[in-house]
Amino acid sequence: MLVRWLASAGIVAVGLIVGGFVLGDGLVRMKAAERSVTVRGLAEREVTADLATWTVSFASTATDLRTAQASTDRDATAVREFFDDLGFPENELTPAGVNVSNYTDDGIVFYTVRQRIVLRTKDIERAQRAVRRQAELVRKGVVLEDGSGITYTFTGLNAIKPEMVAEATRDARMAAEQFAEDSGADVGSIRKATQGYFSIDARDGEAGGWGVGDTPFKKVRVVTTVDFALD
């Protein structure tokens, strides 16, 4: 009976020892797995827009609708001639609708007819020259309304995305290596990475003004967040 009891106690003791060793080893591995650093990497690139979109909005007001319509038709012809003189092909110009409104002043009804013509071109330099010469439209009697502004767009983002993500990741690793050096560790593999969104803004900050609205010189920016293991 005593021998049986001692044997059982011995088995329990061995089990506790082995279990304690396994638990301790698991805690050590878990502690090592917790050694990591999370850093952010930045990549920026200056680009030039490759698409210009200029909405030219104009209006005429008269006491009868036919007169107002005829006036905006003349303005539309002047706008098309303006772009033609600058060398833009006809297929880069698109009519963007007509709007008619009216109001009464001192018993007289006034009609306002608005039209819009949109220029869409990849010839950025020619578009810039056109904007600089828009006063010529005013001298021809075209009443440009608010909202007649040009927008420059960079459409080649997909082509530079992979390189910029790689650059941002390298920048993040450099930050992690600096942190590891200060803490006496080595940077290991990437445990987790998150790509931030790409932003495209004016290169020199807020840009534009009446009739200008944008700049063709852009800055593309992306920030990645990377979790590195530390050895």
pLDDT digits (tens, 9 = 90+) for 13-35: 444 444 444 444 433 344 445 68
Q: Is the pTM of this model over 0.75?
A: no
- Spans of the chain, pLDDT less than 70: 1-34, 205-213
Structure tokens that stand for 55 in this block: 């909405």
Structure tokens that stand for 119 in this block: 């220029």
Indicate the burial class of 86 (C-beta count within 10 angstroms; 0-12, 13-18, 19 or more): middle
Q: Cβ–Cβ contacts within 10 Å for residue 198, how many? A: 16
Residue 196: per-residue pLDDT: 85
Asked whether the beta carbons of 53 and 109 are under 8 A apart, the reply is: no
Distance CA 166, CA 41 (A): 10
The residue assigned the tokens 């940077």 is 187
Asked whether the beta carbons of 3 and 190 are under 8 A apart, the reply is: no
The tens digit of pLDDT for each residue in 131-153 reads 999 999 989 989 888 878 899 99
Asked whether the beta carbons of 100 and 113 are under 8 A apart, the reply is: yes
Q: Cβ–Cβ contacts within 10 Å for residue 93, how many? A: 20
